[in-house]
A and B are shown apart, each in its own frame.
Chain A
Amino acid sequence: DTAVSQTPKYLVTQMGNDKSIKCEQNLGHDTMYWYKQDSKKFLKIMFSYNNKELIINETVPNRFSPKSPDKAHLNLHINSLELGDSAVYFCASSLGRYSNQPQHFGDGTRLSIL
């Protein structure tokens, strides 16, 4: 009964491949997010969706394409993977925009590009 679950937990792949990371939340939240934590442990927002609508896109390369089939899911597809994409990607959710409720995070997906 994990609140925010991401799959896979680990992803090792070669440069140039296309891969997807899935995220699901069972909290009934309206808003979901993707964050990237780089090798220096710096955590930065990438995208935010509210009720399947894109709200925040933080100048992420268009090789990254989030998709929200419903408000409980926010998947991240990455095309033509590059070495610099190696990082931990975190999914999070919150009750709603401006809800003044905390964000809940998944355990992360560790992406390694060979």
Chain B
Amino acid sequence: KQEVTQIPAALSVPEGENLVLNCSFTDSAIYNLQWFRQDPGKGLTSLLLIQSSQREQTSGRLNASLDKSSGRSTLYIAASQPGDSATYLCAPNRDDKIIFGKGTRLHILP
């Protein structure tokens, strides 16, 4: 059974800093992994999807890496902004079933 752990559970950093969110998962037989962001009272927005054959994906200030064999993924956010404040969710996908971590609540201080 897939278990997903995200560290840290919460993070507050001053605006402008670079930061890394960590995700680990127990079942490495996945075919992709998504990072989502969830704003309070809203649905989820897909940020990046990394296929199992890929090592990383980049979109703007975001970079996600995947080490499938060790069951780890990281989300790197460069030059953080107050608008980045949200909960970030890691979601490995096996057999079209996404298992979510509990998320990292990120607060960027202006």
Contacts and interface: CB of A to CB of B under 8 A. Distances in A.
Interface of A: 4, 31, 40-45, 48, 55-56, 58, 90, 92, 94, 97-98, 100-108
Interface string B34-65: 10100000111110010100000000000000
A56 B100 contact: no
Contact of B44 (A31, A90, A94): A90
Interface of B: 31-32, 34, 36, 42-46, 49, 51, 87, 89, 96-100, 102-103
A31 B34 contact: no
Contact of B49 (A56, A100, A106, A108): A100
A33 to B, nearest CB: 8
Nearest to B96: A97
Contacts, number: 50
A43 B103 CA distance: 10
Contacts of B103: 41
Contacts of B32: 100
Which of A43, A44, A56, A104 gathers most chain B CB within 10 Å?
A43
Contact of B96 (A41, A56, A90, A108): A56
B49 A45 contact: no
A56 B97 contact: yes
21 contacts: A41-B103, A42-B102, A43-B44, A43-B100, A44-B100, A56-B96, A56-B97, A58-B97, A90-B44, A92-B44, A98-B96, A101-B49, A103-B34, A103-B98, A104-B46, A105-B36, A105-B43, A105-B44, A105-B46, A106-B43, A107-B42
Given A45-B99, A102-B49, A105-B45, 9 more contacts: A43-B89, A43-B100, A44-B100, A55-B96, A98-B31, A104-B46, A105-B36, A105-B46, A108-B43
Given A41-B103, A43-B89, A45-B98, A102 B46 contact: yes
